[in-house]
Amino acid sequence: MPHEVSAINRVRDQARRQMQDLTGFDFTAPAELFPSGNRKGKSFFAYKRFDTASEALRFAVEELPEPALLGSYLEVNEARFGFHEINALYESAAYPLKRTAKVA
């Protein structure tokens, strides 16, 4: 268990470092969206691969209900981004796609 916690902390630290400089985030890199590990509720989506991180961010924020996004993560260039990082990247000035209102 301590090894798992250590690995999770390393992943979070890596994502935080990348988030500190959004200009360095590659919105054109391939991305993978992994669903939450929660087995209690209905699964809203399965693993999904995207040609670009910007497309993955748009899908995650605009199409997924928030409960589906909680606990899920986006992986880009071997860095993992959770719910808060996904929203920050989508809202950043560097985000290259047109944003649309999320349908509730």
Whether the CA torsion 102, 60, 44, 71 is positive or negative: it is: negative
The C-alpha atoms of residue 55 and residue 64 are separated, in whole angstroms, by 13
The C-alpha atoms of residue 101 and residue 25 are separated, in whole angstroms, by 23
Whether the CA torsion 56, 62, 64, 70 is positive or negative: it is: positive
Half-sphere exposure of 65 (CA within 13 A, CB side): 8
The one-digit pLDDT tens for each residue of the chain (104 residues) are 566 667 667 766 765 665 555 567 899 999 999 988 655 556 667 899 999 999 999 999 998 888 888 889 999 998 889 999 999 999 998 999 999 865 55
Residue with tokens 């986006």: 74
pLDDT of res. 21: 55
Q: Of 71, 104, 101, nearest to 86 (Cα)?
A: 71
Indicate the pTM of the whole model.
0.73
